[in-house]
């Protein structure tokens, strides 16, 4: 199968063709020619005005629901969501049933039919059943294809266990992904603790729950000299601690979510929208501005959607009883554009940085595997329920005007093409 992409603006900082409009010829999943004009006939031709092309995008933290919770999302539906949103690589957390904690669990994900436009990477659990008591056999999972290790949405509470885990993965150059959240601090908090939580009458969760874990985990990283990625960073104070740790030379990276860049706790003054019940919670405007500044100055390395599918019963209920999280794969690119980030910053966050941190092959050059995202970062469009490919629809962005549209993805010899919106 041959694919010819015509007149695409190459956005690849590692390519000699960066910021040039080129034709790209693909044959059986491999880039075979790049030139200003290619006359070779191809079975499929993609030619769209204003199109750009980059290496395929990466989401480092998608909550796993398969096996065990397939009524929320399964591997096929989450792959379709990813392709719709321009992502060709997904890291799936181990919060499944059973937990992804051994060779069998990793292979279940890795061996799922590969004729999809997305590569799925399992995150192996650090502790058995993610209960924080006993370490798993991480080396065995690494050999089977686990991309990284962490307990997903269940933060590792024991400092002693996390030290052992960091030392364990250091032996094979592995990375721990941690969501910093001290469960002992206001475990029943429903939103950020502050003036707004008092105004709306909801129990608050103080910033301390994140701050103490970030500070602790940096100390443990300093002790072990291993590799740590903190995800879901939501506070200005967390950003400052991470910035100092990087200047010190510690091997620490971090990510935040698209929704922490656009929403604040003030958003809950408009009503008890359960789609805005997330963990970490939405913070203050000061925090939001600090996150945007940290994205632009490189302190925050990546954006991850924290895509969390929840069925209607988990969201159409009182705020207190609603499940945490929102879906985000389909809308992430447009949200980042809406947040005012330029395309070069966005691509660092969802493409180049995650590929570098987790050693994923990259590059638009002859001989490389075709793993590409085609997009137009100038198109504005309205996100609606028809754009959702997940089995769940828990998104507060339905009806929102977004900036930046994915045209297609090409990966694993598959093309996933999106119907473009009316301009």
DSSP SS3 for 36 = coil
Alpha helices, DSSP H only, in 249-309?
258-262, 285-297
**pLDDT average, residue stretch 402-407:** 97
When pLDDT is averaged across residues 322-342 and rounded to a whole number, the result is 97
Mean local confidence (pLDDT), 346-354:
98
Helices (H), ranges, 156-282? 159-170, 195-200, 208-224, 236-248, 258-262
Domains 2-52+366-417 and 57-357 share a fold: no
Domain 57-357 has CATH 3.20.20.140: yes
Sign of the CA dihedral running 36, 39, 45, 48: positive
Q: What are phi and psi of 336, to 5 degrees?
A: -65, -35
Q: Is the pLDDT of residue 95 over 70?
A: yes
Query: Strands 21-27 and 2-10, how do they pair?
Result: antiparallel
Per-domain residue ranges of the chain: 2-52+366-417, 57-357
| 357 SS3 class | helix
Beta carbons of 134 and 128 less than 8 angstroms apart: yes
Q: What is the pLDDT of residue 290?
A: 98
DSSP string, 134-146: SB--HHHHHHHT-
Is 237:215 a contact under the CB 8 Å cutoff? Answer: no
Using a cut of 0.75, tell me whether the model's pTM lies above it: yes
User: Is the pLDDT confidence value at 178 over 60?
Assistant: yes
Select 2-52+366-417's CATH number: 3.40.1280.10, 2.30.40.10, 3.20.20.70, 2.40.50.140: 2.30.40.10
Confidence grade of residue 423 (pLDDT, cut at 50, 70, 90): very low
Q: How confident is the model at residue 137 (pLDDT cuts 50, 70, 90)?
A: very high
Looking at residue 421, what is its pLDDT?
44
Over residues 81-86, mean pLDDT: 96
Whether the CB-CB separation of 217 and 160 falls below 8 Å is answered with no
- Among 91-100, 104-113, 175-184, which stretch is predicted with the lowest mean pLDDT? 104-113
Query: Does residue 419 have a pLDDT over 80?
Result: no
Residue pLDDT, tens place only, 59-70: 999 999 999 999
Q: What is the pLDDT of residue 412?
A: 83
Q: What is the Cα 354 distance to its own chain's centre?
A: 9
């Amino acid at each position: 199968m041959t694919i010819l992409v015509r007149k695409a603006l190459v956005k690849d900082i590692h390519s000699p063709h960066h910021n040039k409009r080129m034709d790209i010829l693909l044959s059986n999943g491999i880039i075979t020619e790049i030139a200003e004009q290619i006359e070779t006939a191809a079975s499929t031709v993609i030619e769209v005005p204003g199109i750009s092309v980059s290496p395929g995008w990466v989401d480092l933290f998608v909550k796993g629901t398969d096996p065990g919770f397939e009524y929320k999302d399964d591997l096929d539906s989450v792959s379709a969501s990813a392709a719709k949103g321009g992502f060709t690589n997904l890291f799936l957390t181990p919060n499944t049933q059973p937990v992804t904690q051994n060779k069998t669990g990793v292979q279940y994900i890795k061996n799922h039919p590969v004729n999809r436009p997305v590569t799925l990477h399992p995150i192996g659990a650090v502790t058995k059943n993610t209960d924080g008591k006993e370490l798993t056999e991480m080396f065995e999972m690494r050999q089977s294809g686990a991309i990284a290790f962490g307990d997903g949405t269940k933060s590792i509470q024991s400092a002693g266990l996390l030290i052992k885990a960091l030392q364990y993965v250091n032996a094979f150059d592995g990375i721990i992904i941690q969501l910093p959240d001290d469960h002992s601090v206001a475990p029943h908090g429903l939103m950020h603790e502050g003036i707004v939580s008092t105004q709306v009458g909801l129990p608050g969760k103080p910033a301390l729950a994140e701050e103490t874990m970030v500070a602790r985990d940096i100390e443990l990283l300093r002790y072990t000299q291993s590799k740590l990625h903190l995800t879901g960073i939501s506070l200005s104070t967390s950003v400052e601690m991470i910035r100092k740790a990087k200047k010190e030379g510690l091997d620490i990276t971090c990510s935040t979510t698209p929704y922490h860049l656009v929403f604040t706790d003030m958003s809950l003054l408009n009503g008890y929208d359960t789609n805005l019940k997330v963990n970490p919670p939405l913070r203050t405007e000061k925090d939001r501005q600090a996150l945007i500044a940290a994205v632009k100055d490189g302190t925050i390395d990546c954006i991850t959607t924290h895509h969390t599918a929840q069925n209607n019963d988990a969201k159409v209920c009182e705020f207190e009883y609603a499940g945490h999280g929102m879906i985000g794969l389909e809308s992430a690119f447009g949200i980042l554009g809406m947040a005012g980030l330029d395309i070069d910053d966005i691509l660092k966050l969802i493409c180049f940085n995650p590929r570098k941190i987790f050693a994923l092959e990259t590059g638009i050059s002859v001989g490389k595997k075709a793993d590409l995202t085609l997009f137009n970062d100038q198109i504005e469009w309205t996100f609606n329920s028809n754009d959702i490919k997940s089995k769940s629809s828990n998104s507060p962005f339905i009806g929102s005007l977004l900036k930046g549209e994915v045209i297609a993805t090409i990966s694993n010899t598959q093309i996933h093409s999106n119907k473009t919106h009316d301009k």
